[in-house]
């Protein structure tokens, strides 16, 4: 299974989690605001949803500005973990495991 590696010893990576950035959110990671980009983020034994998102956003300053407001998630980007909205079965400080999937989706407003 992709992303599923066993922990060896120490504090090294234990596998990966896929982070999918979708739709207009891709413009914050060098995309054109359409489609999707998928990143494989390395996990440590204590990785959480927050630490995975902080690691990705640290490499993309525009994503960091859009995603975070005062250390908490902003309002305009939804986070899903294993296809469930953040807050349903996972929170920012929930542990993530090898093979989990995190998605960043832009909110759409209309009427």
pLDDT tier, 8 (very low <50, low <70, confident <90, very high otherwise): very low
pLDDT tier, 35 (very low <50, low <70, confident <90, very high otherwise): very high
Give pTM, 2 decimals: 0.84
pLDDT tier, 22 (very low <50, low <70, confident <90, very high otherwise): very high
DSSP state, residue 76: S
CATH classification for the domain delimited by 15-106, as one of 3.40.30.10, 3.10.20.30, 3.40.630.10, 3.40.50.720: 3.10.20.30
3 pLDDT above the threshold of 90: no
Residue 39: which residues within 8 A CB-CB, separation 6 or more?
18, 19, 20, 21, 56
Closest-CA residue to 8 (of 44, 62, 59): 44
pLDDT tier, 71 (very low <50, low <70, confident <90, very high otherwise): confident
């Amino acid at each position: 299974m992709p992303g599923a590696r066993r922990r060896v010893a120490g504090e090294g990576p234990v596998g990966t989690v896929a982070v999918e950035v979708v739709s207009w959110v891709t413009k914050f990671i060098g995309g054109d605001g359409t489609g999707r980009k998928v990143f494989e983020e390395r996990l440590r034994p204590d990785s959480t949803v927050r630490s995975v998102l902080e690691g990705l956003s640290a490499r993309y300053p525009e994503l960091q500005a859009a995603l975070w407001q005062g250390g908490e998630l902003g309002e305009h980007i939804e986070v899903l973990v294993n296809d469930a909205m953040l807050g349903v079965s996972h929170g920012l400080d929930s542990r993530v495991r090898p093979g989990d999937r995190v998605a960043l989706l832009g909110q759409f407003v209309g009427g």
